[in-house]
Structure 1
Amino acid sequence: MLAFGLGLFAWTPRARAEPPTLSLEWQAPETCPQRPAMVAAVGELLPELGPVGAAEDGASMAVHAEIAQSGSDWTIALRIESDAGIDARAFTASSCDALAEAAALMIAVSLDPVATRAGVAPVARDDAAPRVILRPRSTTAPETAEPPPTPTPPEPAPDPSPVEGPREPEFPVRTPPGLPAPTGPSPRTLSLRDLEDAGPSGPVLGILGVQVGGGLGPMGLSQFAMGFDLGATGRSWRADLRGTYFAPRTEAVSGTDGAVARYDALFASVRGCGVPTVRGGALEFPLCLGFAGGGLRAEGIGPTPGARRAWLPWMALVPGVGLRARVGARVVVGVELELPASLVRGRYSLDDRIVRDIAPVGLSALLGFELRLGAKKSRRARQEPAANRP
């Protein structure tokens, strides 16, 4: 029997929670909503609300509210007492109705926030942002707005009718009267780009060059000069070995009776150059610095008393500038100016008479021709079909 009684107790449905009760004291001017309107507003938000009485009725929550006007604004002092404690608040609005609506919402939420949520719905207005308003719950299904009419797509424009017959060229080629119309391909014009494509696209394996010119030789005399170059070059650099010979030059020895001296020079120089270019490499401007070493030969000739031959060692630093133009795939022409600065001092004498000293600075101007060996084909020449080349 005891077990049967316990089983009945276990299967007995749990009693439903009692609805919340409220005691409300409401003090407001006559122009504001009064207590019955507030009770109705809270009841709309919370239909499960029980009877609303006075403070001494032992309700689950007691509320005291007082509204006062201050200028154009309205202020409410709201005091809520429940088992959770006391919550006192004050807030201001531009109208008394707004204060009453806010107070009703706060009272309903304090009693049962979950049940109150069903009485609050968002409504969007055309002239303002969405706001929350109070409205009673309704069981009527909302009206369904009619869908907007589907726009009718525009009819496609008819295709333009094709032009019958062949079209005339926009820029017809006219042949002068009396001359036959050209039938072959147009002649091809050689440009600097073609010279660039014909030249090397990378480092050149070798340079072979010759120079002719003249200037002031190591002894300070104007002399004819000639030389050769052997080296290598790239897009922006150059290194070469140069040999230079200053041809013999005779000079009467001053203060003597018909004595004559002859001078010539032979030396080699090692040079390194930076080579700025323009127009795609068609023009080069080498800026060089080298070291030269060799010898000078001086001798008395003819009826010269005490005539003798002497070899004078010579070393110099040789800066130089130039201009070169590429005129083909392998041929380059150019001009160059060198100013050798002697690093040694020496002199030539006859019978203890000083005839001439080595000059501290020289000057030479050279015209050069170069053959560049082992040049690679340009990238365009490798990619262009043979049929498209002239």
Structure 2
Amino acid sequence: MPFAPLLAALLVTQVPEPPAEGAIVWQAPPGCPDRAALERAIAGRLGRVPTAQELALVGQIGRTSAGRYHLDLRLTVAGHTQTRALTTRQCAALVDAAALLSALALDPSAAAVDPALPVELEPSPEPPLPDEPIEPDPPAAQTAPPVEPTPPARPEPVDAPEPPPPAVVVDLAELTPSPPPPRRRPGGFLRLSGGFEVGALPRPTAGLDFATGVLWRRARLEFHGVYLGPQTEARGVNSVTVSLFAAGVQGCARLGRARLEFPLCGGFEMGGLRGEGRGPGARTGTGFWTAARVSAGVAWHFHRLLSLNFAVQGLLRLAAARFDLSDPDAPVRLFEPSPVSLRLLLGLEVRLGDPW
């Protein structure tokens, strides 16, 4: 047929270009970068904005049950399609990874492009296609077999390298061991107490107790000064008035919590019993006094610096002076302290730097 050679020539010289493979389709949950951010990231990596004929991208970001972000990505470049599945904690990292994969698929050297460089997001004009020579029509008299149209050669697909793993952000505070809590320094206190004593003097008497010392969180070391008011013992026309001055030390365990403290203490005291005699042959003198002491009490810390203290003290006499009336026939004993005595004290305490 006379139209066969002409049809063959037209098929050879007028092969249409393949249709555009698509554009960028991007689906992301609220809070994630949108399609415009992805296009800017691709342009930053590639150095220009790719056309729809160059790149077809379909990406969808979803949330996993663990709260991470998962990206299903499909890239089509020059008829070659590749898929990727990426998961990370930050949604923005998936946009960067998708941009890097797209740029590498279009241009393997795009990995060296700094994505921070400003890029105009206007579509770059496509370079004009070179003019292709058109074969002249063969003479009508010449017969030739029909020529099959040859599809245009497509470039070999370039496998994009695997994207680098997302950067792991490590908080230096997690790697640096926290410093140990500072050690609490011991504090101090001053306390003035008043109360009653039974057993050390001839009759129950009032007394004062002044204490100071060191406070630890669960222990006390206390130093005491004690004064017991004078009481009188009489035998006929003779009598003796006795008072007590002493100093002591004791250690305590601090039990309890919050505003209530229950100190349990043990120690000793030493001092002098002063007796003033009245009657024939009477005189005044001071004798030795020493006793072991145990106590239990309660302290109410009603203020950061102040406490109200109540204590019960038991004393065991170790050594004490005796007061006798001199008589040529037989000495008469006027007074001797009891082997055991008891004190009840109520006081106000000022605490400084207490680590309680």
Q: TM-score, normalised by structure 2?
A: 0.45
* Structure having the higher Rg: 1
